Amino acid sequence: MNESLESLLAERGDIWRAGTPGEERHPLASGFDELDERLGGGWPQGALTELHYDEEGVGELGLLMPALARLSQEGRWIAWIAPPHIPYAPALAAHEVDLAKVLLVHPRSQADALWATEQALRSGTCGAVLAWPGKADDRALRRLQLAAEARGCWGVLFRPAERHDRPSPAALRLSLRPRPQGVGVRLLKRRGGHAGDRESQLRLPFN
């Protein structure tokens, strides 16, 4: 992985560029009113969000789709770094995600995955970066958080449930559990807010 994502994406002439560091960034509406209320308006831009769950397919992707669709329709890239499975294009299209704005990166190692995630967050070309970082340590997570802040990018890390009790610099941390026709969401951490044991049960149109 010698070529930086910055150079790769710069080849395209229709790329949207993020604003300068430090500017005010409004939350990104999730598409779920109850969740937005608990998050203080929506997903935090310019920060990391961690989603913790016991096994894949609990609704972790369906929860993100309304926001990802909006970003892609605005012409912003959605980067997927080291996903465990190839995203199913018809499902993304059903959620109205613009497939032309989906970028898949399949690193050879965890170190490469962390490097690619940081590069994508810092590129200024991605509206969202979805990453599966494995057992990333605190130092690596801090680098990713700083990279998200630098360019105002929404970074989403998919993490195993057993790591939710470990410290993390992520601005938002959620625990997910499968529920009938949807997903149960428990707030573990929110910057400027309070975590709690109450679970929001969200109905997902698709999963």
pLDDT band (50, 70, 90) for residue 15: very low
Q: In the prediction, which pLDDT does 7 show? A: 53
Q: Helix or strand or coil: residue 38? A: helix
Q: In the prediction, which pLDDT does 6 show? A: 52
- Mean model confidence pLDDT for the chain: 86
Q: 12-26, 141-155, 167-181 — which one is most confidently predicted on average?
A: 141-155
Q: In the prediction, which pLDDT does 21 show? A: 44
Measured distance CA(163)–CA(119) in Å, rounded: 24
Measured distance CA(95)–CA(107) in Å, rounded: 26
Q: In the prediction, which pLDDT does 16 show? A: 41
Beta bridge partners of 182: 179, 203
**Which residues, in sequence order, are CB contacts of 154 under 8 Å at separation 6+?**
28, 43, 44, 45, 46, 47, 49, 67, 71, 127, 128, 129, 148
Q: What is the mean pLDDT of residues 175-195?
A: 85
Asked if residue 78 has pLDDT above 70, the reply is yes
Asked if residue 72 has pLDDT above 60, the reply is yes
Q: What is the mean pLDDT of residues 121-149?
A: 94
Asked if residue 166 has pLDDT above 70, the reply is yes
Question: What is the percent of the chain where pLDDT is above 70?
Answer: 83
How is residue 3 annotated by DSSP?
S
Task: Give the chain's radius of gyration (CA, Å).
Answer: 16
Cβ pair 94, 44 in contact under 8 A = no
Cβ pair 101, 76 in contact under 8 A = yes
Cα dihedral sign, 183-38-152-145:
negative
Q: Which two tokens stand for residue 57?
A: 């397919």
Between residues 133 and 165, which one has the greater pLDDT?
Answer: 133
Which residue shows structure tokens 């929110």? 190
Q: What is the mean pLDDT of residues 6-26?
A: 49
Which residue shows structure tokens 């598409």? 31
Least confident of 1-15, 37-51, 82-96: 1-15
Q: What is the pTM of this model?
A: 0.85
Q: In the prediction, which pLDDT does 205 show? A: 65
How is residue 44 annotated by DSSP?
P
**Domains detected in the chain:** 49-194 (3.40.50.300)
